[in-house]
Amino acid sequence: TTLSDPDRFRFPCDEFYVKTPVEMAAAISEREYPSALSNTLVVAERCSLELPIGDRRVYQMPVIAVPEGRTLPEQLRVETYAGLARRYPEHASEDLWRAYLAEAERVQGLGDGVVHGALDDSPLDTVLLRLARHAEASRRPKAEGDTYGRYEYAHLAAFTPTWHDAQAITILERAEFELGVISAMGFADYFLIVADFIGWARAHGIAVGPGRGSGAGSIVAYAQAITNIDPLAYGLLFERFLNPERISMPDFDIDFSDARRSEVIDYVRDTYGDDKVAHIATFGTLASRAAIKDAARVLEAPFADADRVSKLVPLLFGRSVSIEKALEEIPEMRALYDAGAKEYVDVAISLEGLTRHASVHAAGVIISRESVQELAPVFRSGDGPVVCQYDMNSVEDLGFLKMDFLGLRTLSFIEAAVRIVQNTYGERLDPDAFPLDDPKVFELLSRGDAAGVFQFESPGMVDTLKKLKPRRIQDLIAVSALYRPGPMENIPAYIRRHHGSEEVRYDEFPKSGDVHLAPILAETYGIPVYQEQIMQIAQSAAGFSLGEADLLRRAMGKKKVSEMEQQRAVFERGAKAQGIAADEANRIFDLLEKFANYGFNKSHSAAYTLLSYQTAYLKAHYPVAFAAALLTVERGNSDKVAQYVADSRRMGIEVLPPDINESGGDFTPVGDVVRFGLYGVKHVGDTAVDHVLAERERGGRFTELFDFCRRVDGSLLNKRALESLVRSGAFDAFGERPTLLASVEMAVRWGAALREQASHGQVGLFGAEEVPVPSLESAAPLTPLELLRFEKDALGLYLSSHPMATYPGLADAAVVKVDGVEAWYREATRDSGPGRRKLVLAGMLQNVVKRPTRKGTMMARFEIADETGAREVVAFSRVFDEIAPKLVEDAPAVLVCEVSEDADAIRLVADRLIRWDDRTPGSVPEVVVVRFDIDSVGDHQLEELRSRFDEHSGHVPVELRVRAPEGVVRFAVEGARIDPSALHHIRDTCPWLEASLTVDTRSLMQAESRNGDGRSGFSRRPAPPAAPATDVPF
């Protein structure tokens, strides 16, 4: 609405505010209302309200059922002991638990320490319960200065030296320590609740992540199957998750299959009660740009003016700066402010930062002991879930149990891959049982074949893995932790040390290096990578407990000078006790402080790397099922589907168009190929597809278009959906697409009429067969390009081919494929550092947008796409004026652009655009490209080729692109210029080669840039990796 709208919401007067005492006294007369005001003070003094927050916070743990006679800590211990027996069957065996119980009863004077008699016959659950009760009896009251009571396990101390298996003792000590901390802090029920709904999800076939965040460091969580990664095997620390030195609510963030996450939330709601479970609200605030537009709209300022002002507010790290700061720093905005924008900009300044609306947090859910609305306001949006109106931090202050139920697409992919493998090959896969030392996985990643592999498919990561050539999963964990701004600078050193070309030395730490640093940093070749390593070094070198070391790590992250000085002094004293001199202790402290700022949580890195490994394993061993599953989960993203179709083809796996008789709903393996799924066809809903598949299952294969229309319910699959199926190629077995499309309307009417007759019992004397089937309509044939456009309209991508294939030579003009731009740029700037580089790409133009800039000039955004993917390009004013007429959807083009890095993203700026279908002779430099395999060509064939060049001499230079085992090598052939009109003669006489006429990219690359200040700023070497001009092998 606007300010001048007579029907807008308004207050009836201007007194809707909290008045001062003086104003209240004037409004409420003592004569008319004796003691009214003074009594308000009496009422206020009698009120006593203490909100249960801060130190008075009471955790609102929901009531959970445990077997009668057991406490929550006892139940947690029983479940943990039993889980350890399942996780470590070779160490935490039944014999261990029976012997441990015998020792516990001996220590407490209840037995002689020998397992005998009735104890031998007791069920294991009874043994574990008795152990749990002995452990709970070991709790000591809270001592002065402690935040909670502690556990002292006399029976564990007595048992440790008597048991023969050292690993079993390590497991037992770690579990008892964690259980003591968890129970003493009062969080036994927290673990039981999380274990319950995760167990339910696993039992119902819902994929659950191996862990997320620091929770993967808990052996109790591992035993209860909350996490699925062994903290002992990977050196993960419990204290990073739940610090014994400070009470704070544990926080498990759990990943579920994003397709079934809501089922788990529904289970929690059914288990604890709808009124005790609520989602968490998030609050959108008025950012500066939105505030300007809203204020201008209400005050009825021209939209174009307000839009121009709002777009002048700069963005910093994706967020707009404040309006006042923008007015100070942007002269153009100040000029518009003074010229008439002042009224609505001033209002916007007062609105900026105010809460605008509430929405539902993507993952946050709270569970309460009592009804949520007893402690917090709630709302419900339509038929949606109950939502708590407090934000995430506030619900934690109130003691609500907060959980993040996160949906992870990778888990949906693994779920789909396992299902496809079982349906296709009859194998039941358990990704958690994949061997973690599989050579095929490391070979796959080492050659850069990581498309679709979780975390590892970005060009930069692919390049890193190709250089690293990982040999163990620990390498993958380290790389995933290092591949972030800051730590990335250590990747080259990590790679050199991994390959043995750089020695690991601790020269700065002569006293402590070999003793305190080397054992901890050996896994990462002497480079601190993980926060856990920081904690372990503080423990080893300065005698910190791991809890104290975690507090040190947190202090280092906050960078408070006074606190750091105190911590440094404590560290120095502790190091002195270890025999480390003060100067060396300070160097260690400085090392820890430096790496604490960007050290990564190893628990999270290890857990997520396990998912990466599982996806890589599926790709290495089940490539067809991998491709089908990946395309299935990404079917809603056409760009991703196009990317993964191209990757499948690189692996030798063809992806065929949909077929109404062969396709399933999802992408489906058929032998060594993948058939496009019907769910992926646009304008055909999942319900319609399910109906088609059910009818095919019931009545058999469809025999023709009319048979399909007779059997399928037209109310579920309408004419538009049928046309989309035809355009996609799903009916190609029944005829040519033009004739099928021309016949769709008739077929739909005929099928509907036939079903109408059948529904009313109007069948002829000899049955429905006497109704004649119409003939297909005739239609003009389509060109290959028109067929491809049909395909893209229906599927969102070009599948059977790519329009570039209809333009010979176009693909040869590109220096790299579109999906290789980032890797090309990283390589081009590896030695010289970031900067602008010129590049030539070739492809089809799409998603063209032309618009004015805030300076009044014009600019364009568009994408250049080839069979591997698409990249956005921008064209600014000077170049825009020249190329604007050429920017047409689906036009073939060669693009000369500047590539640079902008906030860790690769940016392409157009410098020149050549329309492939609009070239004229001599308008652009050209070259004849000749390609062949070096292994299949001998000297006599090369001599024959040189003769053909001489025979058909002309004015166009020649470039050889020789395919060798190491890759493609380019040769500029000295002195050879040929007539391009003779290419068909050369192909006929030399059938072992391919030849095409294309744009000479080297000439284009060497031209000066027309963006910016006129300086090219580019590497002067030719961008293609061409060999020097040579006569060899002629």
Of the ranges 606-615, 763-772, 922-931, 978-987, which is most confident?
Answer: 606-615
Residue 253 CA: distances (Å) to CA of 226, 379, 392, 648: 10, 25, 14, 33
Which three-class secondary structure state does DSSP give residue 271? helix
619 vs 630: CA distance, rounded Å: 10
pLDDT given at position 768: 46
**Cβ(239)–Cβ(549) below 8 Å:** yes
Among the ranges given (112-121, 371-380, 870-879), the one the predictor scored with the smallest mean pLDDT: 112-121
What's the alpha-carbon Rg for the chain, to the nearest Å?
Answer: 36
pLDDT given at position 989: 87
Q: Which tens digit of pLDDT belongs to each residue from 690-745?
A: 999 999 999 999 999 999 999 999 889 999 999 999 999 999 999 999 999 999 99
Residue 662 CA: distances (Å) to CA of 417, 447, 490, 675, 1031: 19, 34, 51, 7, 54
| Token pair recorded at residue 315 | 């963005």
Q: Which tens digit of pLDDT belongs to each residue from 4-51?
A: 888 888 888 888 999 999 999 988 988 899 999 999 999 999 998 887
pLDDT given at position 1029: 42
pLDDT given at position 1007: 61
Q: Which tens digit of pLDDT belongs to each residue from 519-531?
A: 999 999 999 999 9
| Percent of residues, the chain, with pLDDT higher than 90 | 52
**Mean predicted lDDT score pLDDT of the chain:** 87
* Phi, psi (deg, nearest 5) at residue 223: -65, -35
What is the number of residues in the chain? 1034
Among the ranges given (428-437, 610-619, 641-650, 1011-1020), the one the predictor scored with the smallest mean pLDDT: 1011-1020
- Reply yes or no on whether the pLDDT at 114 is more than 50: no
- Reply yes or no on whether the pLDDT at 203 is more than 50: yes
- Calculate ∠ Cα 28-34-37, nearest 5°: 55
| Token pair recorded at residue 738 | 């033009």
What counts of helices (H) and strands (E) characterise the chain? 40, 23
pLDDT given at position 246: 78
- Reply yes or no on whether the pLDDT at 357 is more than 90: no
Which stretches of 334-411 are assigned E, i.e. beta strand?
355-367, 378-380, 386-388, 401-408
Among the ranges given (318-327, 477-486, 882-891), the one the predictor scored with the smallest mean pLDDT: 318-327
Closest CA to 895 of 929, 862, 931: 862
Whether residue 808 has a cis bond before it, omega within 30° of 0? no
Q: Which tens digit of pLDDT belongs to each residue from 120-146?
A: 468 999 999 999 999 999 998 887 777
b/e code 970-988 from CB counts within 10 Å (16+ = b): ebbbeebebbbebbeebbe
In sequence order, the 6+-apart residues with CB closer than 8 A to the CB of 251 are 213, 215, 402, 404
pLDDT given at position 733: 93
Across the range 377-385, mean pLDDT stands at: 84
571 vs 123: CA distance, rounded Å: 50
pLDDT given at position 642: 86
pLDDT given at position 1008: 53
- Reply yes or no on whether the pLDDT at 967 is more than 90: no
**Cβ(349)–Cβ(270) below 8 Å:** no
Global pTM reads: 0.83
In sequence order, the 6+-apart residues with CB closer than 8 A to the CB of 511 are 579, 580, 581, 584
| Token pair recorded at residue 944 | 């024959």
pLDDT given at position 112: 53
How would DSSP label each residue in 22-77? HHHHHHS-TTTSTTHHHHHHHHHHH-----S-GGG---BPPP----TT--HHHHHH
Which stretches of 227-288 are assigned E, i.e. beta strand?
253-257, 277-285
Residue 941 CA: distances (Å) to CA of 383, 648, 673, 927, 989: 75, 34, 36, 21, 10
* Phi, psi (deg, nearest 5) at residue 552: -60, -45
Residue type, 66: V
pLDDT given at position 934: 84
Residue 583 CA: distances (Å) to CA of 405, 519, 587, 590: 48, 22, 6, 11
More confident residue, 30 or 1021: 30
b/e code 375-390 from CB counts within 10 Å (16+ = b): bbebeeeeeebbbbbb
| Token pair recorded at residue 357 | 């609306």
| Token pair recorded at residue 960 | 């050889």
The pLDDT confidence band at residue 235, using thresholds 50, 70 and 90, is very high
- Calculate ∠ Cα 799-800-804, nearest 5°: 85
629 vs 399: CA distance, rounded Å: 41
The pLDDT confidence band at residue 761, using thresholds 50, 70 and 90, is low
Which stretches of 602-704 are assigned E, i.e. beta strand?
655-656, 668-670, 673-675
- Reply yes or no on whether the pLDDT at 747 is more than 80: yes
Q: How many CB atoms lie within 10 A of CB 841?
A: 26
The pLDDT confidence band at residue 770, using thresholds 50, 70 and 90, is low
The sign one gets for the Cα dihedral 190, 193, 197, 200 is positive
Strands 892-902 and 905-915, sheet pairing = antiparallel
Beta-carbon-side half-sphere exposure of residue 778 (alpha carbons within 13 Å): 0
- Reply yes or no on whether the pLDDT at 946 is more than 50: yes
Across the range 519-545, mean pLDDT stands at: 93
The pLDDT confidence band at residue 452, using thresholds 50, 70 and 90, is very high
Q: How many CB atoms lie within 10 A of CB 246?
A: 12
Across the range 159-180, mean pLDDT stands at: 95
Q: Under the phi-then-psi rule, with left for phi > 0, alpha for psi from -120 to 50, and beta for the rest, what region is 847?
A: left
